[in-house]
Amino acid sequence: MQTMFWADGVLHILDQTKLPGQTEYIQAGDVETVAQAICRLSVRGAPAIGAAAAYGLVIGALAVSTTDKTLFLTALQKVSVQLAATRPTAVNLNWALKRLLTAVNKHSDLDVDGIKQLLLAEADQILEQDIVANRQMGEHGQQLVPPNANILTHCNAGALATAGFGTALGVIRTAHRQGKNIQVYAGETRPLLQGARLTTWEMIQDNIPVTLITDNMAGYLMAQGKVDLVLVGADRIVANGDVANKIGTYSLAVLAQAHNIPFYVAAPTSTLDFSLPTGEQIPVEERDVNEVTAIAGQPIAPAGVPVWNPAFDITPNKLVTAIITEHGVIRQPYVDNLKRMFERG
Ligand code: MRU
């Protein structure tokens, strides 16, 4: 099942809000449809958002009919701003848009048609390279996964959150394929249940043993000795190694430390943001209160109750045992080691 694919000027986006019940593709042929798909989490997960935004920019470019390059570039910039505003936390979105615009700047000799072709080629590459990076992360991560490991994961950092294979779930998939006899615990991930709906679905499809727990069961699970390692993805990792990921990740990291359990983060270098020194500067998306006051459209709280609904939290680097990237595994001091790995990559 592909998270998204491009065919005849249309981006086909697997609508993840309908999973696991239905597998339907949204046919996005205009920028607004792509932007809406990102906002409402039809396409979600940092690398997948980046790839979708890249194709969104292509769609925006194809819709501009002028051959005047200055007018075209102004229109392109406007589309980029629109797409960048869809979700603030996953840096992959900005990374992808910037990558496309930088490619355009580098090829100043191209006319408008040439730029359109270049943009599409670049978006295709983002998708292809993401799968390669995930497979490499899967391999590098094996040094951290012992045989018979019980692995707790959060949200969905799988094929659905990327161009394919997954980051944290890519490491898990590789361990399973290597016959390590692993067992996965998936936290349900309130409010939108990415763990319950998506991670368990992916694991079951690959015959990887998975047990679903609600988010508030993690501490007791650890206290029972049932977790050997925690492994999650990331939406943004800043210069000092602080990690933004799905709300609830920070709680798991604190619990992991309290139980002496390693806490690992798997993310491609497109998730690194060296422009921010610490996690405090990461913009954390706050979402509609209805996501908390209702489950699958059914109200579960008194009407009008005040709600706080941050979609992500920040895990301080001191709680992160290691970060797995496509170039290898990094440990403290992250300030030096992330930079070194990034420059090498
Ligand atoms: O709100 P979401 O579902 O987009 O949040 C996704 C996550 O937090 C993932 O863990 C993260 O993007 C990494 S995906 C490889």
Helix (H) or strand (E) holding 312: strand 312-315
The answer to whether 9 and 59 have CB atoms below 8 angstroms apart is yes
53: region left, alpha or beta (phi > 0 left; psi from -120 to 50 alpha)? alpha
The residue whose CB lies within 8 Å of the most ligand 1 atoms, and thus the one to mutate among 231, 246, 273, is 246
CB atoms within 10 A of CB 8: 6
Q: What is the CA radius of gyration of the chain?
A: 20
Domain ranges of the chain: 4-134, 137-344
Q: What is the CATH number of domain 137-344?
A: 3.40.50.10470
For atom 15 of ligand 1, which residue has the closest CA? 157
Q: How far is the CA of 71 from the centre of ligand 1 (A)?
A: 36
* Contact residues of ligand 1, CB 6 A cut-off: 41, 44-47, 90, 155, 157, 161-162, 167, 194, 232-235, 245-246, 311
Query: Which residues, in sequence order, are bridge partners of residue 153?
Result: 186
pLDDT of residue 208: 98
- Reference 118, options 132, 101, 141, 142; nearest CA is 101
Sign, CA torsion 244/160/185/327: negative
Taking the CA of residue 194 as reference, the ligand 1 atom at the shortest distance is: 3
Q: Which ligand 1 atom is at minimum distance from the Cα of 49?
A: 4
Residue linked to tokens 């392109």: 76
- Residue ranges in the chain modelled with pLDDT below 50: none
Residue nearest to atom 10 of ligand 1 (CA): 233
Atom of ligand 1 nearest to the CA of 245: 8
Q: Which two tokens stand for residue 147?
A: 């045989």
Q: Are 57 and 30 in contact (CB under 8 A)?
A: no
Distances (CA, A) of 292 to 37, 287, 314: 20, 9, 20
Q: Residue 345's pLDDT is what?
A: 60
Q: Which residues are catalytic?
A: 235
CATH architecture for segment(s) 4-134: Up-down Bundle (1.20)
Cα 259 to averaged position of ligand 1 atoms, centre (Å): 25
Ligand 1 center to residue 69 CA distance, Å? 36
Q: In angstroms, what CA-CA distances link 256 with 44, 220, 268?
A: 26, 11, 23
Mutate which of 17, 41, 155, 291 to test ligand 1's pocket (most atoms within 8 Å of Cβ)? 155
- Please give the Cα distance from 300 to 123 (Å, whole number): 41
Is the distance from CB of 282 to CB of 236 less than 8 angstroms? yes
Complete edge-to-edge strand list for the sheet that includes strand 4-7: 4-7, 10-14, 25-28
Give the model confidence (pLDDT) of 124-173 as tens digits.
999 999 999 999 999 999 999 999 999 999 999 999 999 999 999 999 99
pLDDT digits (tens, 9 = 90+) for 245-289: 999 999 999 999 999 999 999 999 999 999 999 999 999 999 999
The enclosing H or E element of 114 equals: helix 112-140
What are the helix (H) ranges across 64-90? Answer: 69-84
Place of tokens 């692993």: 182
Q: What is the pLDDT of residue 18?
A: 97
**Distances 65 to 75, 116, 120, 337 between C-alpha atoms, Å:** 10, 11, 16, 46
CA 3, 342, 243, 320 torsion-angle sign: positive
Q: Which amino acid is at 284?
A: V
Distance 47 CA to ligand 1 centre (A): 8
Atom of ligand 1 nearest to the CA of 267: 15
Whether the bond into 277 is cis, omega within 30 of 0: no
Q: How far apart are CA 282 and CA 101, in angstroms?
A: 23
